[in-house]
Amino acid sequence: MMRRPASVRSLETLGRVRLSRSFFMRDFLYSEIANFYGVPNVPEDPDQAIAAGGRLCEELLEPLQATFGRLAIRSAYRAPAVNALGNRMGLSCASNERNYGRHIWDRRDAEGCIGAMASVVVPWFADRYADGADWRAMAWWIHDHLPYSQLQFLPKLAAVPRSMLVTSIRSLAVPPAPALRTSMPNWVLAPNTLLRTETCEPP
């Protein structure tokens, strides 16, 4: 059982935890908000954060990277204090309650689910998106191949947020789109993407 890091050495130890073949916990701890305002972005429950982050990496990020090449992590784990500050200051952070089981990996959501979310850029696709490729191509590749719950595509670098369990796809990228349901004809994704994994088990 790992305690909340209270020193540089213990934070280094947490950062060295390998979540999957390619990803370590340290890859997901950087935050511009935390960096700029000097608020530690440190999990209160490292074990839960590691478990949730491990599923995110194994089920979503590894297969995405194996197919399209190196991923760039834009926004991933947020400590409750960091997320609350971002929400209060209007820095594109939802409330803590909405981010439990999402960006706040070490807190269960209102349904008791453990989850993890990351906003990632697929550089290979970002280049093609900049040249006019349709974000829906990537969206439907993810839909067909990965156990996502929800995907959201952002206009900056075609970023991808959220994924796993809810079968809908939404875009803030161009062209805009309402929810695309699984019953619709097959399409695909954009470069900056939110991906989420989630599992619901008794506490």
The predicted-structure confidence for 103-118, as pLDDT tens digits, reads as follows: 999 999 888 888 899 9
Average pLDDT value over all residues in the chain: 81
Q: Is the pLDDT of residue 171 over 80?
A: no
Return the pLDDT at 158.
57
Over residues 65-84, mean pLDDT = 95
Kindly report each contact of residues 39-43 with a partner whose C-beta sits within 8 Å and lies 24 or more positions away, as own/partner: 39/79, 39/81, 39/82, 39/85, 40/79, 40/81, 40/82, 41/77, 41/78, 41/79, 41/82, 42/4, 42/5, 42/11, 42/14, 42/79, 43/4, 43/14, 43/77, 43/79, 43/105, 43/106
Q: Is the pLDDT of residue 192 over 70?
A: no
Return the pLDDT at 113.
85
